[in-house]
Amino acid sequence: MTHVSQEIWLDRIQGWNITDCAVRSRDVISLCLRRKVDPEDVSWTADSDIPSRLMNLFINRDENVFGDRTYAGLKLPKLGVCSVPVAQAMMVARNADGQVVLLGGGRDFSDEFIAPGKYPMTHRIKTLFGCAYSVGQGRSIYKRASIGSWLPFNEGFPAIEAVTSHGFEDMDAFSEGDMYAVGGHGDVWHFDGERWSHMQFPSSVQLGTVTCAGDGQVYISGEGGSLWVGQKSSWKRIYEGNSSVLWNDALWFEGKLWLSSDFQFRHWDGRSLAPVTHEGRQLWLNGHMDARDGLLAVAGVERLNVFDGENWRTIVEPYSGMCGKGRG
């Protein structure tokens, strides 16, 4: 699949917004789509009333091959993938139970529930060492231990009522004994393989992402788009941003730190957050991002682009005209 066909786009993607992407493997990319809402209806439409669609695209087949399912009642769904115990894509709703819907794995799987009645408040599904973790508000982390089983991953967190200054928005790891989680107002924690410990951080701004990078450093992004580097309780701000939004995603790929937001796509060049270029041209991409198995994917509202370290490909883009002639 060098490009999603006009037929698939008109039938399965037109009229929907791409809200997230996840790389399951070099051959399979998953998308989270939400039905577009008329601007006049936005003010009175509950998020859970917006239909959601989970789609798997097999991007290296000669023919257009995909699988998808459409769901009702999923509030603010977050997208993730796993390879343990089986390779699957998943969407998690931000509701009282943490409802999980699944696609892939060779058969139909029943919905799962991360923590019935406990409001896990998933902000991100993180894939670490093949396993899926639900990362949520109020220092809420759950690990998918097996099919249908999500276990609290909270050893060391104090048993206190969560407040808005507490994380989490993201987590990452060098190993199962060297993990970081961030969020809230400068709320940074480290896991040593047995328990989580609170780390000192030089700012109380809102934190959005954490990346355990290939250069051995940990990068944290926060309010305004600022960027810090360090480890444990030793941090240095290397970039002071002035954006009004947080970065959606930050990841290490091909020896660089890449960052994406709803408006920008950048990489850290050692001195600044520079625009991403290819063959001398700036790439005007934005949205959400994921990387795995030697492939980087960037998904905007209407487009999906992938990079294998050498070449960029457009997998999804709109077709123009009522008859679908041409590509816009």
What are the pLDDT digits (tens) for 83-134? 999 999 999 999 999 999 999 988 899 999 999 999 999 999 999 999 999 9
Residue 270 has pLDDT above 50, yes or no: yes
In this predicted structure, what is the pLDDT of residue 64? 81
Rounded (5°) CA angle 255-261-263: 120
What are the pLDDT digits (tens) for 70-92? 999 999 999 999 999 999 999 99
In this predicted structure, what is the pLDDT of residue 321? 52
CA distance 57 to 317: 14
| Domain annotation for the chain: domains and CATH numbers | 6-39+48-316 (2.130.10.10)
